Amino acid sequence: MLIFLVGLVALTEPARDDCDCEIPKDFDSSYFGDKFIFGTATSAYQIEGGTGSETGRGPSVWDTFTHETPGTYLRVYIGLRMAKMETWLLISIIDLKNIANVKKMGFKAFRMSISWSRVIPTGSIRDGVNDQGIQFYRNVIKEIKENGLEPFVTIFHWDTPQALEDKYGGFLCRTIVDDYQDYADLLFKEFGENVTYWMTFNEPWALSGFAYDDGIFAPGRCSSWVNRKCRAGNSATEPYIVAHHLLLAHAAAQNQRGQIGITLFTFWFEPLSNRQVDIEASETALDFMFGLWMDPLTYGQYPRRVQNLVGDRLLKFTDNEIKLLKKSYDFIGLQYYTSYYAKPNAYSPWFYIFPKGIRRLLKYTKDTYDNPAIYITENGVDNNNNDTQPVDEALKDQFRINYYRNHTWNVFKSIKEDKVNVTGYFAWSYIDNFEWNIGYTSRFGLYYVDYKDNLKRYAKDSAIWFCQFINCLIPAVCDSLRPEQITQVTSRKLGKYYM
């Protein structure tokens, strides 16, 4: 996505965000009506352990990547994931308390993903299915349902089976479309009875861009002039090949029973000024990041601006593929974090807080793509993991409350005033977790995880805020979220132990 990156440079000048002081004091979930679904989200690789052979799970490209990449990832990975995370699986999801926490906060839905190589170790169904893996997800889904929550299941959240990577280069090869289709069919057959909402792919842009253009996500491919750490790849062509196969795989996974969607991640690009060149630049950037998916999925072809700039590096769809692609979704999951503008704020280097961006993106999606049904499948903000900070202090996350309040308000305005069909909102994330290329150094959770003390979880202030927001601001309902007294002594003592 090189051209996209060039476009971005012109857009990084900060712009002013006008204040959100109009939010009424009593703003809460009742503004959205009863049918609106508030949920919270996770993904398999970020919260599951159980990567050992005793679970029957095959390795994914992320196992390989985090083991092989020298520097930060390795340190973070070995120090935390390897030492402690093998049991994370049992602690984090199966543990009844965990799903119960989501329910206790008042959420109605829980978004999770399934690890392909846990249910099909080699990725290819001909080689066999891992019954232990199927049983594991059956239990998880049962747990979600028994807590009265609606499961939203992502079929693929970046963890390509390593065996497919070795066999034919994973998403670089067209064969993955068939293997993916078999995998999706298996899930529909095994879990379709209890899962209505399915998402084929999580943020395909991140896979084609971060993994094949910048080389910072597994399998870490790119041109050496983009990132010297890459040993192989081609940033000019591979992102488009991968994108093409992701789109075809999405179209191949059709489930008759439930609702099917895809989640797309995009920044909002605010034109620097109202001059035509700036407007054009922002539309081009949106086309490269968002239209690259939305146009084929809605209209069966790549956006014209992308076609003009990328030329024949873009693969062609056949007539039959076009037919399959057009309107190949029941809903679109939008994942919004940030816009290009406003002041640097959160921990991750790409993060600039701009709540109005979510409203602009929603309106744009409605107008450009024929008013689809939309869920906000991710929205949230992180901060850095501070090793010396006492736990009680780390739970005070007013900045996160501000973020959620301002963003849910803008979602509300887009429903109310712009008549966008948004039917649900998922906070990212339920719990602090493994944040991909920056490991455990970033914390996105409503729940805090104490990595130094048996992965104990504590409701952050934002969890209590969300609970009150959902339960119509009745504070007593949320008292039970933080039963334990958190003492400074515990955390200070443990603060000494760290890599």
Ligand X SMILES: *[C@@H]1O[C@H](CO)[C@@H](O)[C@H](O)[C@H]1NC(C)=O
- In the complex, what is the shortest distance from the CB of residue 331 to ligand X, in angstroms, rounded to a whole number? 6
Total residues at interface with ligand X (CB under 6 A): 22
Alpha carbon of 83 to those of 86, 118, 184: distances in Å?
Answer: 7, 21, 33
Per-residue 3-state assignment (H helix, E strand, C coil) for 83-98: HHHHHHHHHHHHCHHH
488 binding ligand X? (CB under 6 A): no
- Cα dihedral across residues 462, 463, 466, 468: positive or negative: negative
490 binding ligand X? (CB under 6 A): no
CA–CA–CA angle 181, 182, 187 (5° rounding)? 95
- In the complex, what is the shortest distance from the CB of residue 194 to ligand X, in angstroms, rounded to a whole number? 4
- In the complex, what is the shortest distance from the CB of residue 145 to ligand X, in angstroms, rounded to a whole number? 5
386 binding ligand X? (CB under 6 A): yes
Q: How far apart are CA 259 and CA 328, in angstroms?
A: 11
- In the complex, what is the shortest distance from the CB of residue 195 to ligand X, in angstroms, rounded to a whole number? 9
For 278, other C-beta atoms within 10 Å of its C-beta total 16
Q: How far apart are CA 1 and CA 285, in angstroms?
A: 10
Closest to ligand X by CB, 14 vs 52, is: 14
- In the complex, what is the shortest distance from the CB of residue 480 to ligand X, in angstroms, rounded to a whole number? 25
E strand map for 221-287: 259-265, 268-269
Is 280 one of the catalytic residues?
A: no
193 binding ligand X? (CB under 6 A): yes
Residue 478, amino acid: C
Of 402, 456, 461, 471, the one binding ligand X (CB under 6 A) is: 402
Closest to ligand X by CB, 2 vs 100, is: 100
Closest to ligand X by CB, 17 vs 321, is: 17
Residues with Cβ within 8 Å of 21's Cβ and at least 6 positions away in sequence, in order, are none
Q: Is 196 in contact with 150 (CB distance < 8 Å)?
A: yes
Q: Which of 203, 238, 283, 321 is catalytic?
A: 203
- In the complex, what is the shortest distance from the CB of residue 284 to ligand X, in angstroms, rounded to a whole number? 26
Residue bearing tokens 């760290």: 498
Q: Is 231 in contact with 185 (CB distance < 8 Å)?
A: no
389 binding ligand X? (CB under 6 A): yes
Q: Is 314 in contact with 306 (CB distance < 8 Å)?
A: yes
Q: What are residue 247's DSSP bridge partners?
A: none
Stretch that binds ligand X, among 237-245, 262-270, 385-393, 472-480 (CB under 6 A): 385-393
- Here's the x/- map for ligand X, 308-347, by CB under 6 A: it reads as -----------------------x----------------
- In the complex, what is the shortest distance from the CB of residue 230 to ligand X, in angstroms, rounded to a whole number? 30
Is 150 one of the catalytic residues?
A: no
139 binding ligand X? (CB under 6 A): no
- Here's the x/- map for ligand X, 220-259, by CB under 6 A: it reads as ----------------------------------------
353 binding ligand X? (CB under 6 A): yes
Residues with Cβ within 8 Å of 143's Cβ and at least 6 positions away in sequence, in order, are 93, 94, 96, 99
Residues lying near ligand X in the complex (CB under 6 A) are found at 17, 19-20, 138, 142, 145, 191, 193-194, 331, 353, 355, 373, 386, 388-389, 393, 402, 405-406, 421, 423
Which amino acids are annotated catalytic? 203, 378
